[in-house]
Amino acid sequence: MNALPFLIIVPLFGAFSMPLIKLISEKVRDIWAVIISAVTLGVAADVFYTIWKTNKIIVYTLGDTTPLGKGVGFPIRIVWEVDLLGALIAVTIAFVSLLAIIYSLEYMRHDTGLDKYYTLILILELGMLGIVITGDIFNFYVFLEIMSIASYALVAFRNDTWEGIEAGIKYMFVGSLASSFILLGIALLYGQYGTLTMAYLSQYITREPTFVSKVALAFILGGLLFKSGAVPVHMWLADAHPAAPSSISAMLSGLVIKAGGVYAIARILFSIYSISLNIRTLGWIIIFFACLTLIVGNAMAVIQTDMKRLFAFSSVGQIGYILLGIGIGLAAYGTDIGQIALAGAIYHTVNHAIMKALLFLVAGAVLHEVGTKNLNELSGLARRMPLTSFAFLVGAAAIIGMPPLNGFASKWLLYESSALYNPFLAAVAVVGTAFCTAAYIRVLFTFFGKESEKVKAAKDPGKAMIIPMIILILAIIIMGLLPWQINESIMIPTAKMLEESGKYVLAVLGG
């Protein structure tokens, strides 16, 4: 039996049963959340392994055995279509979500209404998983909204301060605007072509690329750039990500802007539009936004005094690298350079999810123990919280791209491909990294500096908060020790599969 539907069923079951489980006891509720997310990780790993092993796209039809209608040659049902990219991101999502939930066992212990918290966090996970497995563009929109609404509520979860509520409302306004752009784009596509199945849409657009389809692409791309926090429209991210509880910040920065932003951009550009447009122009549009994003995001990170805000701006910068990879992958479509860039972008997506999750968990531990995230007051933390500081050191070194850690390989691929494609882009990317380094060195000096009054009583947090951090450190180091093996065996096939939009179409419509 196919494991794919359980990727949705399990978190949905967990979320719906949470109000009933809570009636038993609070302890059972916490364990239940961990079990559900662990099972989800198992399912995601199984789906990924199946696709990786067979190198075939999985197509799953909801409600019937075939997506095609009776007696007609086109798909009429909702399909789920997972290729390697979707499965890889799904594993990342399930992995980081599990760690965020374990972390919240201790981090959120003093809050009330936690059954709603766990329900929302599982719904958030479900929305992201849905986005990466769906093959139907309206189904994609539905999952995008599930994810977005859950994240609005989670950003404002700590409603005892106005910070969270303000950020939540701001996030909601911007997010709703972005969602309506996306919906408008989807509506235009539906009006023009009369289908919502991505594969069939792709075939249709290739056959007759009309003006309306380009307008629709502009709307969808605009909305998705909003959601991924690319630069002209990144203002919500710097408020929403620091204001959320840290376990949620880890998911928002590590996963939500990837699944609902970058992944969706890659899927729509490569699988639906790729061969029907002037791909070079499209690539350069993405590259333009990418350069802007990676300079502004990293530069803004340097001047922050709020630790979580610094990490949030750094996320904006890292999104720039991923967009750069996707842009070069489009502009140099079909060449080796494009493939390397795309592999680098995918690799960096996974790496950044792990690194940024670790950094936000560190920020949460500091906030939990010291009670402030203002860098001016955190001087000399390293002596009191050695494990946490070590975790920060690893995360920061990885995000800068230090060789023995995982960030090195993905950044190297991006530098290499951009230098081969256009040296100017490589220069921009390196300048971005210089800013990034400056920002993290600042935090590092704060941590290892002279001890201030505030941190005298601080100590490392308890087991439930330390263990997720240690797992993430191990993941960073292990991935860092095998960079090229991972690249050869996972990232390059994933990039290849994403580039072959013909196979994506044929998997649904049949040979």
Partner 1 sequence: MENDMGLIVKTMARATIPLIGIFGAYVISHGHLTPGGGFQGGATVAGAGILFLVVFGLNEAKKRYDKNLYSALEGLGGLAFLGAAMLGLSIAFFYNILWRDKIAFAGQPGTLLSAGYLPIMNLAVGLKVFTGLVSAMMAIALFRRWKK
Tell me which residues touch partner 1 (CB under 8 A): 1, 5, 8-9, 12-13, 15-20, 22-23, 60-65, 115
Q: Which is nearer to partner 1, 23 or 72 (CB)?
A: 23
Q: Which is nearer to partner 1, 18 or 277 (CB)?
A: 18
Report the C-alpha dihedral over residues 18, 21, 25, 28, rounded to 10 degrees.
-80
Q: Which is nearer to partner 1, 24 or 474 (CB)?
A: 24
Query: Cβ distance 433 to 361 under 8 Å?
Result: no
| Planar angle of CA 96, 97, 99, nearest 5 degrees | 65
| Residue 371, phi-psi category: left (phi > 0), alpha (psi -120 to 50), beta (remainder) | left
Q: What is the 3-state secondary structure (H, E, C) of 90-113?
A: HHHHHHHHHHHHHHHHHHCCCCCC
Per-residue CA distances from 65 to 60, 62, 68, 131, 508 (Å): 8, 8, 9, 22, 12
Concatenate the DSSP letters of all residues of 168-209 into one string: HHHHHHHHHHHHHHHHHHHHHHHHHHS--BHHHHHHHHHH--
* Tokens, residue 161: 């301060």
Q: Shortest approach of partner 1 to residue 128 CB, angstroms?
A: 18
Report the C-alpha dihedral over residues 140, 141, 147, 148, rounded to 10 degrees.
150
Q: Which is nearer to partner 1, 15 or 346 (CB)?
A: 15
Residues linked to residue 75 through DSSP beta bridges, in sequence order:
68
Q: Which is nearer to partner 1, 17 or 210 (CB)?
A: 17
* Tokens, residue 440: 């993290």
C-alpha–C-alpha distance, residues 292 and 300, integer Å: 12
Task: Write down the number of H helices and E strands in the chain.
Answer: 22, 2
Concatenate the DSSP letters of all residues of 321-357 into one string: HHHHHHHHHHHTTTSHHHHHHHHHHHHHHHHHHHHHH
C-alpha–C-alpha distance, residues 269 and 257, integer Å: 17
- The number of residues making up the chain comes to 511
Phi, psi at 386, each rounded to 5°: -65, -45
Burial group, residue 10, by CB count within 10 angstroms (0-12, 13-18, 19+): buried
C-alpha–C-alpha distance, residues 317 and 297, integer Å: 4
